[in-house]
Structure 1
Amino acid sequence: MKNYELVLSHVEADLAAGRLRLGGRLPGERALAEQLGISRPSVREAIRVLEALGVVRTAVGSGPDAGAVIVAEPSSPMTSLLRLHLATNHLPIRDIVQTRVLLESWAAREAATRTDVEPELQAAEALLDTMDDPSIPPEDFHLLDAEFHVALSGLAGNVLIAAVMSSLRSAIHGYVLAAVPNLPDWDATAIGLRAEHRAIIAAIRAGDPTRAATEVTSHIEGFYRAARLG
């Protein structure tokens, strides 16, 4: 095991045991180095890894805000990882589509069984209201579309699903936008997407899990088919 991995294992064990919590701070470099019998550069390397993984946030200096603070930002590192693998063509777009269908249809189905999501539904509808502007550029439309789908996934109440969906949408946004020229009529496509979004919300609000899942599946697969992405 490399020295910096000793630090990662140590932090993982402390988090699992409750000795470290969100908002808490890691011990200083010198203390960790002495405790684990490794060099301070190895500790610094580990902290950089933890920051890249979204586990800590660091601030330099000697004040009360200095050091490495435990945070929980899983979507950022997952987004970076997905982007890199998409760039290498290691993750085919069609596989991404299938994953989105699997996760989002499940989330919509779960959301339709809940009775406590009305505020979140209204927030999602506010995004759709903005997207109804016929003069909105495709790039802005798709940024709002990404927000809508992340919000939709959050309705299921599963934090991990929401984080994965946020990463997926962020990672593929550029590919989706690049596909717009492949659409024969963007204005007609936008009208169809708006109607499909409203149909998803209506199914969830009606408490119809099967219809909600079906609407989401048809919506995702239909766009990728029209854009010739998958």
Structure 2
Amino acid sequence: MPVEWQPVRQSRTHELVLQSIEEQVFAGKLRAGDRLPPERELAPVFGVSRSALREALRVLETIGVLVAQPGRGPDSGARIVRNPDGALGRLLRLHFALGSYGLHDVLEARVALERSSFAAAAEHAVPADLDEAETVVRQMVRPGIAPVEFNELDTQFHVRMASGSGNALTSTLTAAVRESVRPLILRALEDVDDWPATQAHLNGQHAELLRLVRTGQGEEAADLAEAHIRGFHGSLVDDAGVGPDDGNAAV
């Protein structure tokens, strides 16, 4: 029987470096807080050029598992970190903008995540979490607050409540999904006919969500969270003409 040859996948040099670093992480030999050797030492170990090594390190920095501090001294160099929140949000926002996910997909993901996080926060949130959320709510009710600042505070409120759920992954995913539609929500806030009325309505829901969580009414908080998200975020889906069957349409 003749031998059947299969094509061999060609990897670029920096991809091989990435694979090697990932293997060290998976094996537990590299942990959060560990520093990588200087480039001049690490490149010969991998047998690659310093430019290929830098490309691999830039990829790791982009996805939020590495921070590079230029210069000399004890704090310089590349260090392994656990900080996926911002990086995941940026990646998801780009994929959303490119049409990888449709607005309806994001809506349903938000509903599922935040129903879970508000219900869990009612059971697990500590007073410090709720006090910080209340501080944000108080800032949001200021007369004359502009939509851009309101939008930032709105994001902080939802992420803070997700943090109170006690589930770090839920918190990270909530932050990333909310971040992915932040520019779109801002445009919608800026376009409303009666901004003070919209502000008052949303603030009323935020205050009630916080009250329900404080009093341990998880199921009621989950129901209101869904209504809150579908009320405003859902209107974006309606305006875009995206239905369940168009979930992957670009927006």
| TM-score, L = length of structure 2 | 0.84
What's the % identity of the aligned pairs? 37
Q: CA deviation at 1:171?
A: 2.5
| Equivalent of 2:130 in 118, 121, 137 | 121
AA paired with 2:27?
A: A
Q: CA deviation at 1:26?
A: 0.9
| Equivalent of 2:38 in 15, 28, 35 | 28
| Equivalent of 1:214 in 223, 228, 234 | 223
Return the structure number with greater relative CO, CA threshold 8 A, min gap 6: 2
Larger radius of gyration: 2
Counterpart residue number, 2:22: 12
- 1:37 paired with 2:41, answer no
Q: Distance in 2 between matches of 1:60 and 1:213?
A: 45
Counterpart residue number, 1:192: 201
Unaligned runs of 5+ in 2: 1-10, 243-251
AA paired with 1:72?
A: R
Q: How is 1:158-169 mapped onto 2 (pairs within 5 angstroms)?
A: 158-169=167-178
How many residue pairs are counted as aligned between the two chains? 229
- 1:101 paired with 2:111, answer yes
AA paired with 2:151?
A: H
Listed one character per residue, the Cα deviations across residues 55-114 of structure 1 (whole Å, up to 9, x for unaligned) are 111122332222111112212222222222222233211211111111011011111122
- 1:151 paired with 2:151, answer no
Counterpart residue number, 2:182: 173
- 1:62 paired with 2:94, answer no
Query: Secondary structure in 2 aligned to 1:135?
Result: coil
Query: Secondary structure in 1 aligned to 2:231?
Result: helix
Listed one character per residue, the Cα deviations across residues 197-222 of structure 1 (whole Å, up to 9, x for unaligned) are 11111111121221111010000001
> 162-171 or 212-221: which moved more?
162-171
Q: Distance in 1 between matches of 2:18 and 2:50?
A: 14
> 27-36 or 162-171: which moved more?
27-36
Cα distance change on mapping 1:46 and 1:198 into 2, 3 Å: same
Q: Distance in 2 between matches of 1:84 and 1:154?
A: 24
AA paired with 1:132?
A: V
Contact 1:183 1:226 in 2 (8 A): no
| Equivalent of 2:87 in 74, 77, 81 | 77
Query: Secondary structure in 2 aligned to 1:113?
Result: helix
Q: Distance in 1 between matches of 2:189 and 2:212?
A: 28
> 170-179 or 58-67: which moved more?
58-67
Counterpart residue number, 2:5: none
Q: Distance in 1 between matches of 2:190 and 2:165?
A: 33
Unaligned runs of 5+ in 1: none
Contact 2:119 2:221 in 1 (8 A): yes
Q: How is 1:124-135 mapped onto 2 (pairs within 5 angstroms)?
A: 124-135=133-144
Listed one character per residue, the Cα deviations across residues 117-176 of structure 1 (whole Å, up to 9, x for unaligned) are 111101101100111112211111111001001101111111122122222222321100
